[in-house]
Amino acid sequence: MTPAPGSFTAEEYATRLARAQAGMAKRNLSLLLLTIPADIAYFSGFLTRFWESPTRPWYLILPAAGQPVAVIPAIGHALMARTWVRDIRCWPAPDLADEGISLLADSLQEIAGYDGKVGVPMGHESHLRMPLDDWARLKRAAPAMSFISDDGIVSGLRMIKSRSEIAHIRTTCAIAARAFARVPEIAHAGVPLDQVFRRFQMLCLEEGADWVAYLAGAAGQGGYGDVISPADTRVLTRGDVLMLDTGLVKHGYFCDFDRNYSVAPPSDAVASAHQTLIEAAEAGFHAARPGATAADLFHAMQRVVGGRLDGGRFGHGVGLQLTEGCSLMPRDRTLLATGMVLALEPVITLPDGQIMVHEENIVIGVDRAEWLSPRAPRMIPVLEG
Amino acid sequence: MTPAPGSFTAEEYATRLARAQAGMAKRNLSLLLLTIPADIAYFSGFLTRFWESPTRPWYLILPAAGQPVAVIPAIGHALMARTWVRDIRCWPAPDLADEGISLLADSLQEIAGYDGKVGVPMGHESHLRMPLDDWARLKRAAPAMSFISDDGIVSGLRMIKSRSEIAHIRTTCAIAARAFARVPEIAHAGVPLDQVFRRFQMLCLEEGADWVAYLAGAAGQGGYGDVISPADTRVLTRGDVLMLDTGLVKHGYFCDFDRNYSVAPPSDAVASAHQTLIEAAEAGFHAARPGATAADLFHAMQRVVGGRLDGGRFGHGVGLQLTEGCSLMPRDRTLLATGMVLALEPVITLPDGQIMVHEENIVIGVDRAEWLSPRAPRMIPVLEG
Answer whether B308 touches A (CB < 8 Å). Answer: no
Give the pLDDT mean for A153-163.
98
Contacts with B211 from chain A: Cβ below 8 Å: 201, 212, 215
Contacts of A20 (CB under 8 A, 6+ apart): A32, A43, A62, A153, A154, A157
Give the pLDDT mean for B45-67.
98
Q: How many CB pairs under 8 A join A and B?
A: 231
Answer whether residue A283 shows pLDDT above 80: yes
Flag the least confident range among A179-183, B60-64, B229-233, B275-279.
B229-233
Local structure of A77: helix, strand or coil: helix
Which residue type is seen at A129? R
Under a CB-based contact definition with an 8 Å cutoff, are residues A292 and A336 in contact? yes
The DSSP annotation for A234-303 comes to: PBP-TTEEEEEEEEEEETTEE--EEEEEEESSPPHHHHHHHHHHHHHHHHHHHH-STT-BHHHHHHHHHH
Give the pLDDT score at B239: 96
**A196 vs A19: CA distance, rounded Å:** 44
Name the percent of chain B lying above pLDDT 90: 94
Give the pLDDT score at A23: 98
CB spacing of A53 vs B126 below 8 angstroms = no
Q: Which of A125, A113, A16, A114 is nearest to A60 (CA)?
A: A16
Give the pLDDT score at B6: 78
Answer whether residue A308 shows pLDDT above 90: no
Beta strands B69-73 and B59-63: pairing type?
Answer: antiparallel
Closest in A5, A91, A97 to B229, CB measured? A5
Answer whether B316 touches A (CB < 8 Å). Answer: yes
**A357 vs A217: CA distance, rounded Å:** 10
Beta strands B369-371 and B360-364: pairing type?
Answer: antiparallel
What residues of chain B, 260 to 299, have a C-beta less than 8 Å from chain A?
none
Under a CB-based contact definition with an 8 Å cutoff, are residues A62 and A40 in contact? no
pLDDT digits (tens, 9 = 90+) for A102-116: 999 999 999 999 999
The DSSP annotation for A98-144 comes to: -SSHHHHHHHHHHHH-TT-EEEE--STT--B-S-HHHHHHHHHHSTT
Eight-class DSSP state of A353: S
Answer whether B341 touches A (CB < 8 Å). Answer: no
Answer whether residue A101 shows pLDDT above 70: yes
pLDDT digits (tens, 9 = 90+) for A337-367: 999 999 999 999 998 889 999 999 999 999 9
CB spacing of B52 vs A123 below 8 angstroms = no
**B92 vs B299: CA distance, rounded Å:** 53
Count, residues in chain B: 385
Minimal C-alpha gap between B139 and chain A (Å): 14
Under a CB-based contact definition with an 8 Å cutoff, are residues B302 and B129 in contact? no
Roughly what angle, to the nearest 10 degrees, separates helices A294-305 and A268-287? 150
Give the pLDDT score at A309: 66
Average predicted confidence (pLDDT) for chain A: 96
**A276 vs A348: CA distance, rounded Å:** 8
Under a CB-based contact definition with an 8 Å cutoff, are residues B328 and B302 in contact? no
Answer whether A115 touches B (CB < 8 Å). Answer: no
Name the percent of chain A lying above pLDDT 90: 94
Q: What is the ipTM of this complex?
A: 0.97
Answer whether residue B351 shows pLDDT above 90: no
CB spacing of A78 vs B225 below 8 angstroms = yes
Find, in chain B, the residue whose alpha carbon is nearest to that of A194: B210
Find, in chain A, the residue whose alpha carbon is nearest to that of B326: A55
- Angle (nearest 5°) at CA A24 between B131 and A124: 20
Give the pLDDT score at A312: 83
CB spacing of A131 vs B127 below 8 angstroms = yes
Answer whether residue B365 shows pLDDT above 80: yes
CB spacing of A123 vs B130 below 8 angstroms = no
Q: Which of B136, B119, B124 is nearest to B61 (CA)?
A: B119
CB spacing of B52 vs A322 below 8 angstroms = yes
Give the pLDDT score at A385: 77
CB spacing of A230 vs B47 below 8 angstroms = yes
Give the pLDDT score at A91: 97
Minimal C-alpha gap between A206 and chain B (Å): 7
Rg (CA), chain A: 23
| Cis peptide bond prior to A94, omega within 30° of 0 | yes
What residues of chain B, 28 to 57, have a C-beta less than 8 Å from chain A?
47-50, 52-55
Flag the least confident range among A111-115, B68-72, B211-215, B349-353.
B349-353
Answer whether residue B154 shows pLDDT above 80: yes
Answer whether B129 touches A (CB < 8 Å). Answer: yes
Find, in chain B, the residue whose alpha carbon is nearest to that of A54: B125
Local structure of B223: helix, strand or coil: coil
Give the pLDDT mean for B257-267.
97
Give B238-242 contacts, CB < 8 A, sequence gap 24+: B238/B189, B238/B263, B238/B264, B238/B385, B239/B263, B239/B264, B239/B267, B240/B189, B241/B266, B241/B270, B241/B356, B241/B380, B242/B183, B242/B187, B242/B193, B242/B196, B242/B217, B242/B218, B242/B383
Answer whether residue A250 shows pLDDT above 70: yes
Give the pLDDT mean for B167-190.
98
Domains present along chain B, CATH in parentheses:
10-158 (3.40.350.10), 160-383 (3.90.230.10)
Q: How confident is the model at residue B166 (pLDDT cuts 50, 70, 90)?
A: very high
Count H helices, E strands: chain A? Answer: 11, 18
Which residue type is seen at A162? S
pLDDT digits (tens, 9 = 90+) for A5-51: 878 999 999 999 999 999 999 999 999 999 999 999 999 999 999 99
Q: How confident is the model at residue B268 (pLDDT cuts 50, 70, 90)?
A: very high
Answer whether residue B199 shows pLDDT above 70: yes
Answer whether residue A87 shows pLDDT above 90: yes
